[in-house]
Amino acid sequence: MSKKNTKYIFVTGGVTSSLGKGIVSASLGLLLKSRGFKVTIQKLDPYINIDPGTLNPYEHGECYVTEDGAETDLDLGHYERFLDSQTSQNNNVTTGKIYQTVIEKERKGDFLGKTVQVIPHITNEIKRRIKILAKKDYDIIITEIGGTVGDIESLPYIESVRQLKWELGENNSMVIHLTLLPYLASSGELKTKPSQHSVRQLMESGIQADVLVCRTEHKIPKEQRAKLAQFCNVGLENVIECKDLDTIYEVPLYLQKQDFDDVVLKELGLKSDKEADLKDWKNFLKKYQNPKKKVEIALVGKYVSLQDSYKSIAEAFIHAGADLETEVKIRWVYSGEITKENVEETFKGIDGMLIAPGFGDRGIEGKILSAKFARENNIPLLGICLGMQIMTIEFARNVLSLSKANSMEFDTSTPEPVISLMEEQKNVVEKGGTMRLGAWKCSLKTGSKLAEIYGSKNISERHRHRYEFNSEFKEDFEKNGLIPSGFNPETGLVETLELKNHPFYIGVQYHPEYKSTVATPHPLFKAFIKAATKNNFSH
């Protein structure tokens, strides 16, 4: 243990997946932080991929990138947005990483001829990963365990929690079990049986849940609550209701009304004289729920049928929109269906356009048509990562008359590779973790629109990409008005582009959405919404 007596909270899920363990964990983290504790949250993911970097967003939603360049689960985005503090590669652990580490140790001879087994070797590695964060001097570490109790994949994690609870001793750890109370319309009642079974399954693994958080569509009647307490072995006040709400940002306040933070502190034997101060949070919520203006932004991407694929972007719009008391309505546009014939109809009535990040060549021509439409019709456009590269290709083809201009990602033999690989990337065969990842510095040109937006010349933003703006074409772009305005000081790579004589036409190679939080909305999203609001009046 570290010098500080770190306390551990484990969050498990039962009955079904996708109940919102991440939101409950983030909400609890916010409540405990506002009571004066130093808190972090980590996610244990039971899948065997090393990280979600190579997963299709349809499989797992967006891949979130931390400051230190780890490709992680999208729940880490929630943790950062709620807590307004950074996570790291140690905050996301996958079964793949656990097994990889153990197998590497075995190959090096670390186990001295022992038979390597799930218990103790895999569980020891899981426990080591859970405790790594204690070195950072946190008061409380919340560990969310992915999947559902009873899944084969989750068993080693559940067993590790059982061992840890025993090792840490009384009042040093607790388990919060998130479960579902289904509503049967035919009998008009909430059913507690699935939750009872789920808690029993947890007990079969040697773990008693200390707190039950129940997801439900309706308020839980007193007798149902008493039944849950009795049959799940928890105190009545430890049965917490988590009703479906209009927005995830209401969840912390809803849980606070039921003294969720007090219940947890009592279980951990902690005291706090500090009342939870959520004044700023309530203020944000009030502005978000009572906007004075409204804009509609077209989000052009290829994964739009699963909106979790662009989770951080959608949330960044909420943060910046609330700050400006503006409702941001997103029009999800699938780029694969955009043609010359329907482009005008597709974007009729929008106030702004965002061309989303992504990989691969599907839907690219539709994105290029979108960028052209925004450029020629003075529609505010923000291009993120691939979005900036699309703006580059479109401008090269239609303004610089380089008709074959392309990215080497889509056409390796293009004679005009305006987007290409960095030299050191050209021989890389493995896909995972081979990109420019995490925080990189960027120097903005004095007098550029972006320097004005950030109010600073030197910024740092997070990246996740392999291809770069080809600097051989820089002068051509500059001469014709699409100005490279931000550069990485070490490599000289172009980070940002902005078009002269346009209300807002900015492409950035990085992902500003990863750094937007409730407490600190991102300046680039705010500037973009402001531009879209101005555009609103010209309709």
**Active-site residue list:** 385, 511, 513
> Across-strand partners of 469?
419
Calculate the dihedral angle through the C-alpha atoms of 248, 251, 252, 258, rounding to the nearest 10 degrees. 180
Query: Which run of H or of E encompasses 506?
Result: strand 505-508
Where on the phi/psi map is residue 36: left (φ > 0), alpha (ψ -120 to 50), or beta? left
What are φ and ψ of residue 352, in 5° steps?
-165, 165
Decide: 312 and 320 in contact? Cβ < 8 Å. Answer: no
> Across-strand partners of 267?
none
Distance (Å, whole) CA 357 – CA 312: 11
Calculate the dihedral angle through the C-alpha atoms of 198, 201, 202, 203, rounding to the nearest 10 degrees. 120
Q: Kindly report the three-state secondary structure assignment for every residue of 48-82.
A: CCCCHHHCCHHHHCCCEECCCCCEECCHHHHHHHH
Using CA atoms, how far residue 224 sits from 16, 148, 190, 209, 231, in Å, is 20, 23, 8, 18, 11
End-to-end CA separation in angstroms for the chain: 62
Sheet holding 467-469, edge to edge: 406-407, 417-421, 467-469
Decide: 144 and 42 in contact? Cβ < 8 Å. Answer: yes
Burial of 467 (0-12, 13-18, 19+ CB in 10 A): buried
Structure token digits, residue 399: 């303004």
Distance (Å, whole) CA 7 – CA 210: 14
Q: Which residues contact 22 (CB under 8 A, 6 or more apart)?
A: 43, 74, 75, 78, 79, 144
Interaxial angle between packed helices 123-132 and 95-108, expressed in degrees from 0 to 180 and rounded to the nearest 10: 110
